[in-house]
C-alpha cells in the first residue's frame, strides 16, 4: 500500500501534467465499501446526473 501511495503522490506533484480529478469530477471513496455498495452509489450518481439533463 505504501508503494501505491508514493506513486500517487509522485503523479499528483509532477511538474508536467500532474494527475488530478477534473473540476466537475465526482469522487467515490470506496475504501470501506463492498462491491455492491460501490455499485449502488455509482449508479446513484449516474441516475442523478441523467435526471438533471
Catalogue the E-assigned strands of the chain. none
Q: Give domain limits for the chain.
A: 21-53
The string of pLDDT tens digits covering residues 13-47 is 999 999 999 999 999 999 999 999 999 999 999 99
Question: What is the H or E stretch that residue 30 is in?
Answer: none
Q: Is the pTM of this model over 0.95?
A: no
Residue 17 per-residue DSSP state: S
Q: Can you give the pLDDT at residue 13?
A: 95
C-alpha cell at 2: 505504501
User: Which residue, chain included where needed, has cell 441523467?
Assistant: 50
Q: How confident is the model at residue 53 (pLDDT cuts 50, 70, 90)?
A: confident
Residue 21 zone, left/alpha/beta (φ > 0; ψ -120 to 50; rest) = beta
Amino acid at each position: 500500500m505504501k508503494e501505491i501511495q508514493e506513486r500517487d503522490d509522485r503523479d499528483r506533484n509532477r511538474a508536467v501534467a500532474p494527475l488530478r480529478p477534473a473540476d466537475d469530477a465526482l469522487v467515490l471513496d470506496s475504501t470501506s465499501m463492498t462491491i455492491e455498495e460501490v455499485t449502488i452509489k455509482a449508479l446513484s450518481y449516474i441516475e442523478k446526473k441523467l435526471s438533471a439533463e
